[in-house]
Amino acid sequence: MLQTRSAKRTAAAAVKIATDMVKEGLISKDEALQRVEPAQVEQLLLPRFDQKEVDKARSAGRYLAKGLNASPGAATGRAVFDADRAVALKGQKQLVVLVRPETSPDDFHGMVAATGILTARGGSTSHAAVVARGLGLPCVAGVAALDIDLQKREMRVGGKVIKEGDAISIDGTTGEVFAGELPTIAANFREEKELIELLSWADKRRRLGVWVNADTPGECRLARELGAEGVGLARTEHMFREAERLPIVQDMILAGDTAGRKRALAKLLPFQQGDFNEMFEAMDGLPVVIRLIDPPLHEFLREYADINVEIAVAQATGRNGTELEKKVRIFRRLEQLHEDNPMLGLRGCRLLLVYPEILEMQIRAILGAAIDSAEKGIKAKPEIMMPLVGTMGELDRLAAQVTEVAQQVFKERGKRVEYKFGTMIEIPRACIIADQIATKTEFFSFGTNDLTQTVLGISRDDAQKSFLTRYVEEKIIPADPFQVLDRDGVGAMMRMAVERGRKTKPGLKIGICGEHAGEPSSVALCHELGLTYVSPSTYRVPVARLAAAQAALAGGAARDR
Amino acid sequence: MLQTRSAKRTAAAAVKIATDMVKEGLISKDEALQRVEPAQVEQLLLPRFDQKEVDKARSAGRYLAKGLNASPGAATGRAVFDADRAVALKGQKQLVVLVRPETSPDDFHGMVAATGILTARGGSTSHAAVVARGLGLPCVAGVAALDIDLQKREMRVGGKVIKEGDAISIDGTTGEVFAGELPTIAANFREEKELIELLSWADKRRRLGVWVNADTPGECRLARELGAEGVGLARTEHMFREAERLPIVQDMILAGDTAGRKRALAKLLPFQQGDFNEMFEAMDGLPVVIRLIDPPLHEFLREYADINVEIAVAQATGRNGTELEKKVRIFRRLEQLHEDNPMLGLRGCRLLLVYPEILEMQIRAILGAAIDSAEKGIKAKPEIMMPLVGTMGELDRLAAQVTEVAQQVFKERGKRVEYKFGTMIEIPRACIIADQIATKTEFFSFGTNDLTQTVLGISRDDAQKSFLTRYVEEKIIPADPFQVLDRDGVGAMMRMAVERGRKTKPGLKIGICGEHAGEPSSVALCHELGLTYVSPSTYRVPVARLAAAQAALAGGAARDR
């Protein structure tokens, strides 16, 4: 009877029924843990629309369109069609829904400022979807019915014209879009007493640790409340993208010589050190894994993507403003930096080896902040993580450089702090030589986004629009490998890395910080592989806690820590 | 005595001495095989300066200087002192020798445009040397006597002033530099009697077959003369690039619907079938492995790379010719096709699954030509090869489609021919599931260019200019993995594929058709792994024959076929 109704149960009811049945002695705690779906836990923590208001809006003709439910939750706010305007309106204390044909890293500051994201193009692994899930923002993507006119700052959809500033509401759980404001009901984890109890039972069963991917002190505090036991991935480049810092980062890149880069990096140092100080404070006593800069430098120059067009037009029309010379200079540098396949290019530790001054600044910021924290009585536990390592030649040099900078910082400050040194495992070669890598590192963290890209030879950003969606639809592959870990391929390489790494160093700490860390069947695979922890995005921490417990119960394993 | 002179021996002398000593009974044939370096065999087949002309130039006082013989071969062209000028002169159909104090990644585009490279500084692992060898360009490096004045665009050397545009000649085999043009002579394999004899001994020792990568009937004939025992890779897309065909291919791509694509493909069919007819005739009785289309479609539209600039300028200046509308249409399609990382995008078998009409045309052309050949009494042995397979879902569908088209062709022509069906093994996942892939295929061929890119997460085109050369110079890695097979990484994945493939199908035919197939230490690795054959580029066929024999001798293995 209960079984047949399960599809209709709301998430809240599922949790309540399960915990009530335990209290009534009808089922065991383990049975309760197995009766709630991890996806239901995620929904419980998201703001949602009041169903009565949704029905009302629908009958009032305010329903506009439906797209892909790319990141769950409900959001309402003023429609805005570019990132800078989103930031400006946020500054005026307005709630904003950012609407774009599709998003790119240039829109990041606007996405952070928004309460929800709506795009006309892109699938579940599009930039918009992935970033929105990372930020815990509702996102409806790939709404083909949207006809956006960026010039006029308006869109046509469902027979209506929505102008910039008009209110819209999006439901990332259902994919629906409405005109006007719909009141949202905020979730409050602290009030979800039954869920908190259920998850406390989960914690006793799970063997996997649950950490979190977090880039800001706010995310850290929230994640801790949701049960995160550490930060498994802090992406330093996200800190580079904030408004006041981006121009300094761009100066560094455009400098073109070491002295110029060092001047810019000296300006960035206090920002980064400040960020780390706040994060260490938020995570007081818990480990924080900080990944050094990862993306190719040209990602910070996307606003100049059409500069060649601007130059050509200026030259053709003779309107050669004073800006032209600067533009030509920027264009030349962009040409130097251009890569046909940036995903496989100058990024990650390669960047740190070519520009060691970036590594130096970042290590100074991390260890400087750890010392600052210690002086304030805060227990910082920094773990320095190198991205994209594939050879021992790279790792040996990186380890030596980190040690050298650390010694300098300790000497200058007259104080030492503990830190760990580890690597991402995100290209196949790193899995193959994991036994060697383990000789020089204290932890591994699987970057399963990149590992999936390289093991399968599939670019995440491109594949969705061109063939991956079709592959899933036609059952050529069982699921999108960027959502659900590819057990036979990527999983096999992970198993190799775990076995080889722990052969060198039994008990080596091994985590996962890719998107998969919050997806239940992928969490189960991580459990099977014997990983130490999973590190999902903030709102998926409770999901991972339950999924990890279910994996342990399925495997008959008791929690052994 | 001979030992001490070895550095001075020319390649021709090395071969002659080794064969003479056998005839005089001083050494065995096996010893002779071990005394000649495979690289020397390659040098014998490179274009070189006519010795008489060299002597003449020397007595006319045109000898300028000597440096390091950094990359072999002879080149002559106009001296140019910066990369942009090299590109410009190349655009005017001029042969160019790029002269620099030393090269850096910024010079890469100029190096590609040059016929040879000359530098004043740098050794055998300098940027210039490494890049030149990678590009197969002659290079003389570290000529300390060069006094280059970049401002004046001239150099002083050997008491002479060479200005930009003056002809010079460099010999990358000897390291010598001359003023003026020196005529180069192509090598003639038939006249190299001693080499032919030495290689006949090699053939008795080697266990590896030596096939060839060839895209034209002319290459096939030459390769057969050089000893190739089959075509290991015919790249059908190279046939698409020829002048009269490219517009049809572009029509197909721009069509944007199946009907339009089919119309264009119908026009391409006779061209492809004609190509295969000629290749089968040239390789009469020997296998020809034909890879279906591999590159992303936008590679055929490179001439439109700046079309957005043209459109913007036309719009800004109001000079909207009748062409504008067409250009906008092409630009829209380009935007649809655009990929951030095309190497990991819609290409290879993904393209064939999304556009099955391309697969149909290619299978019709191959099997149609095989039937044509049979009717002319020629023994065609076509082997159909699928690129970029990574999953069984792809392979199952591809195999079914090929069988279906084959049945249609056989029915239409009233005649059956034999053909084999196999896959490239070029992404890590294919190595992992090689046991499954072998259930559906009759051969594997390692695409080690792509496999190196994915196992290492390195884009070949981008990495060389940005960090790979530096990695080699600073000994972060022992050699450029795109030149010398990465034994610990790529080699380990190849070993996995061989073991798993042959577990399913003992004796499975496994070849290699990447660039590495002609590099001696990589050939040795292929021997160790038990591959069936190597398939290098045409001029490296003799190199591979000798290297394969040396590998067999080093392993103590006798030829067992």
* Residue range B194-234, pLDDT digits in tens: 999 999 999 999 999 999 999 889 889 999 999 999 999 99
CB contact under 8 Å between A462 and B391, yes or no, is no
The alpha carbon of residue A438 is apart from the nearest alpha carbon of chain B, in Å, by 16
For B503-539, write each residue's pLDDT tens digit. Answer: 999 999 999 998 899 999 999 999 999 999 999 988 8
CB contact under 8 Å between A457 and B316, yes or no, is no
Give the strand order in the sheet containing B63-66: B63-66, B176-179, B167-171, B74-80, B96-100, B116-119, B139-141, B68-71
pLDDT of residue B331: 83
- Which residues does chain B have within 8 Å of residue A397's beta carbon, measured at their own beta carbons? 476
CB contact under 8 Å between A428 and B455, yes or no, is yes
pLDDT of residue B298: 83
Reported confidence tier of residue B5, pLDDT bands at 50, 70, 90: very low
Share of chain B above pLDDT 70, in %: 96
CB contact under 8 Å between B429 and A489, yes or no, is yes
CB contact under 8 Å between A489 and B316, yes or no, is no
Compute how many other C-beta atoms are within 10 angstroms of the C-beta atom of residue B178. Answer: 23
B317, B339, B388 member nearest A457 (Cβ): B388
- A-interface mutation test, from B333, B432, B482, B496, most A Cβ less than 10 A away: B432
- A-interface mutation test, from B82, B465, B466, most A Cβ less than 10 A away: B466
Report yes or no on whether pTM surpasses 0.90. Answer: no
pLDDT of residue A320: 66
Give the pLDDT mean for B19-24: 96
The alpha carbon of residue A497 is apart from the nearest alpha carbon of chain B, in Å, by 13
Reported confidence tier of residue B556, pLDDT bands at 50, 70, 90: low
Q: What angle do CA A241, A245, A250 make, to 5 degrees?
A: 80
Compute how many other C-beta atoms are within 10 angstroms of the C-beta atom of residue B341. Answer: 21
The alpha carbon of residue A503 is apart from the nearest alpha carbon of chain B, in Å, by 18
Instruction: State chain B's mean pLDDT as an integer.
Output: 90
State the residue for tokens 């080149």: B75
Which H, E and C letters describe A27-67, residue by residue?
Answer: CCHHHHHHHCCHHHHHHHCCCEECHHHHHHHHHCCCEEEEC
CA nearest B481 in A: which residue? A391
CA nearest B476 in A: which residue? A393
A397, A486, A489 member nearest B476 (Cβ): A397
CA nearest A337 in B: which residue? B466
Find the catalytic residue in B220, B349, B513, B526. B513
The alpha carbon of residue B472 is apart from the nearest alpha carbon of chain A, in Å, by 10
Residue A302, token pair as written in the block = 């996307």
Let me know if B186 is exposed, middle or buried by CB neighbors in 10 A (0-12, 13-18, 19+): exposed
The alpha carbon of residue B82 is apart from the nearest alpha carbon of chain A, in Å, by 15
CB contact under 8 Å between A428 and B397, yes or no, is no
Q: At B289, is the secondary structure helix, strand, or coil?
A: strand
CA nearest B391 in A: which residue? A477
CB contact under 8 Å between B344 and A458, yes or no, is yes
Reported confidence tier of residue B239, pLDDT bands at 50, 70, 90: confident
* Closest among A512, A373, A490, A336 to A428, alpha carbons compared: A490
ipTM value? 0.86
For A300-405, list the strands marked E by DSSP. Answer: 381-386
- Which residues does chain A have within 8 Å of residue B429's beta carbon, measured at their own beta carbons? 455-457, 486, 488-490
Which H, E and C letters describe A374-402, residue by residue?
Answer: HHCCCCCEEEEEECCCCCHHHHHHHHHHH
- A-interface mutation test, from B302, B317, B341, most A Cβ less than 10 A away: B341
* Residues of A tagged active-site: 127, 513
For B236-330, list the strands marked E by DSSP. Answer: 287-291
* Measured distance CA(A437)–CA(A426) in Å, rounded: 13
For B280-310, write each residue's pLDDT tens digit. Answer: 999 999 999 999 999 988 888 877 878 888 8
CB contact under 8 Å between A477 and B426, yes or no, is no
DSSP string of A198-235?
HHHHHHHH--SEE-EE--SHHHHHHHHHTT--SEEEEE
CA atoms within a 13 Å half-sphere pointing along the CA-CB vector of B106? 8
Q: Catalytic annotation on B513? A: yes
Reported confidence tier of residue B321, pLDDT bands at 50, 70, 90: low
B306, B340, B470 member nearest A459 (Cβ): B340
Task: Output the tens digit of pLDDT for each of chain A's 561 residues.
Answer: 333 333 334 788 899 999 999 999 999 999 999 999 998 888 788 888 988 899 999 999 999 999 998 888 899 999 999 998 999 998 888 999 999 999 876 787 899 899 999 999 988 777 788 778 767 789 999 998 899 999 999 999 988 999 999 999 999 988 999 999 999 887 788 888 999 999 999 999 999 999 999 998 999 999 999 999 999 999 988 788 777 888 999 999 988 789 999 999 999 999 999 999 999 999 999 999 999 999 998 888 877 878 888 888 888 887 766 788 888 888 888 887 888 899 999 999 999 999 999 999 999 999 999 999 999 999 999 999 999 999 999 999 999 999 999 999 999 999 999 999 999 999 999 999 999 999 999 999 999 999 999 999 999 877 866 788 778 878 899 988 988 999 999 999 999 999 999 999 999 999 999 889 999 999 999 999 999 999 999 889 999 999 999 999 998 644 443
With both helix axes pointing from N to C terminus, report the angle between B323-337 and B246-255 in degrees, rounded to the nearest 10: 70
- Which residues does chain B have within 8 Å of residue A309's beta carbon, measured at their own beta carbons? 308-309, 312
Buried b (16+ CB within 10 A) or exposed e, B527-544: bebebbbbbbbbbbbbbb
- Which residues does chain B have within 8 Å of residue A316's beta carbon, measured at their own beta carbons? 313, 316-317
- Which residues does chain B have within 8 Å of residue A341's beta carbon, measured at their own beta carbons? 341-344, 459, 461-462
Whole-Å CA distances, B59 to A1, B52, B185 = 104, 11, 20
The alpha carbon of residue A249 is apart from the nearest alpha carbon of chain B, in Å, by 19
- Which residues does chain B have within 8 Å of residue A429's beta carbon, measured at their own beta carbons? 455-457, 486, 488-490
CB contact under 8 Å between B476 and A309, yes or no, is no
Give the pLDDT mean for B221-250: 89
* Measured distance CA(B434)–CA(B390) in Å, rounded: 9
For B419-472, write each residue's pLDDT tens digit. Answer: 999 999 999 999 999 999 999 999 999 999 999 999 999 998 778 767 988 898
Share of chain B above pLDDT 90, in %: 67
A354, A388, A466 member nearest B457 (Cβ): A388
pLDDT of residue A408: 98
State the residue for tokens 């721009």: B254
pLDDT of residue B468: 87
CB contact under 8 Å between B312 and A317, yes or no, is no
The alpha carbon of residue B306 is apart from the nearest alpha carbon of chain A, in Å, by 9
State the residue for tokens 């010893």: B31
- Which residues does chain A have within 8 Å of residue B427's beta carbon, measured at their own beta carbons? 455-457
CA nearest B461 in A: which residue? A340
The alpha carbon of residue A455 is apart from the nearest alpha carbon of chain B, in Å, by 5
φ, ψ of residue B40 to 5 degrees: the values are -70, -35
- Which residues does chain A have within 8 Å of residue B346's beta carbon, measured at their own beta carbons? 462-463, 466-467
3-state helix, strand, coil in chain B (%, to 5): 55, 15, 30
Helix H or strand E encompassing B22:
helix B11-23
Q: At A520, is the secondary structure helix, strand, or coil?
A: helix
* Measured distance CA(A181)–CA(A79) in Å, rounded: 11
- B-interface mutation test, from A423, A460, A466, most B Cβ less than 10 A away: A466
- Which residues does chain B have within 8 Å of residue A350's beta carbon, measured at their own beta carbons? 466-467
pLDDT of residue A328: 84
φ, ψ of residue B96 to 5 degrees: the values are -130, 135
CB contact under 8 Å between B429 and A308, yes or no, is no
Whole-Å CA distances, B386 to A326, A379, A552, B111, B393 = 48, 56, 41, 33, 13
CA nearest A397 in B: which residue? B476
Alpha-carbon dihedral sign for residues A306, A307, A312, A314:
positive
Let me know if A61 is exposed, middle or buried by CB neighbors in 10 A (0-12, 13-18, 19+): exposed
CB contact under 8 Å between B459 and A339, yes or no, is yes
- Which residues does chain A have within 8 Å of residue B470's beta carbon, measured at their own beta carbons? 353-354
B340, B471, B493 member nearest A428 (Cβ): B493
Let me know if A398 is exposed, middle or buried by CB neighbors in 10 A (0-12, 13-18, 19+): buried
Q: At A119, is the secondary structure helix, strand, or coil?
A: strand
- Which residues does chain B have within 8 Å of residue A386's beta carbon, measured at their own beta carbons? none
